[in-house]
Amino acid sequence: MIAAKVIDNIWATRKADSLRGLKFMLVEVLGGIDAGRSMIAADTIGAGIGERVLVCTGSSARKMLDRDDVPIDAVIVGIIDEDCTF
């Protein structure tokens, strides 16, 4: 898992049918060798802009959606409490 901060919403008016109903967020990786790197993650828990989140990547991300046919590589799976620091 990766710790990240939600930067913005991603709006896609046209997308593959398997992605319909999914909300996408732009997140920035916190800490580690990828610190500062941006990625797009599907939001399964209703995270908001400015919140620090846990992001699951790879095949584990697809399993969070219970569908192996979805082309997803990153999913927001948790919101980090405000009193946690990096």
pLDDT band at 84 (very low <50, low <70, confident <90, very high): low
Q: What CATH number is attached to the domain comprising 53?
A: 2.40.50.220
Structure tokens at 7: 């930067």
pLDDT, tens only, 17-57:
888 888 999 999 998 898 889 999 999 899 999 999 999 99
Domain assignment present for 85: no
pLDDT reported for residue 23: 92
Q: ∠ CA 9-70-8 to the nearest 5 degrees?
A: 10
Q: Is the pLDDT higher at 84 or at 31?
A: 31
Instruction: Answer whether 84's CB lies under 8 Å from 52's CB.
Output: yes
Domain assignment present for 12: yes
Domain assignment present for 46: yes
pLDDT reported for residue 83: 63
**Overall pTM surpassing 0.95 (yes/no):** no
* Domains held by the chain: number: 1
Q: What is residue 82's three-state secondary structure?
A: coil
